Amino acid sequence: MANFNKAFQQTMQNEGGFVLHKVEHDSGGWTFAGIAERYNPNWPGWSLVKAGRHDDPLVTRMVMDLYKEKYWDKARLDEVESDLVAYNIFDFGVNAGVRTSVKMAQRIVGVTPDGGLGPITLKAINNYGEQAFVQAFFIGKVARYNAIVARNRTQIKFLHGWLNRSFKTLAL
């Protein structure tokens, strides 16, 4: 069983920690700890964050709860045996969406890419070699990021960060 807390800490480093910011051409708008207000307008932490309570333990708990529910649990990552494989699927899911991340994992392990991590996909992932998976997943992420930039040149400002994030998964 993969470790959510470990994956969460690594992803928070990738997301820049508990910081509120807005970046031009970022479709998520105001973002705190990687949580985009545009995509999570009803997250209960917004009122505390906008009141400047970024370091409040309640905010930390709310951030963890959102990531656990919307990303980790949605992808059934507790059922993935490898921490490293689960972390890769989780972190890319945070960045690109759970369905996108799961579909990429499914393509790698040779099952129908439907975006749902069911028993067939879980078995295939758990039987796939950890390092082979991580390397193939890395290549898939890089290809996806390059395709995003090719479609929309305003996104090139994010490419360096996306690639650095991807390289970090190879060094774990």
More confident residue, 26 or 41: 41
DSSP β-bridge partners for residue 102: none
Backbone angles phi, psi at 42, to 5 degrees: -100, 10
Kindly give, in sequence order, each residue whose CB lies less than 8 Å from that of residue 62, ignoring residues fewer than 6 positions away.
Answer: 43, 44, 45, 48
Q: Which phi-psi region, left, alpha or beta, contains residue 26 (left: φ > 0; alpha: ψ -120 to 50)?
A: beta
pTM recorded for the entire structure: 0.91
38 or 134, higher pLDDT: 134
- At 42-76, the pLDDT tens digits run 999 999 998 999 889 999 999 999 999 999 999 99
Domains of the chain: 4-170 (1.20.141.10)
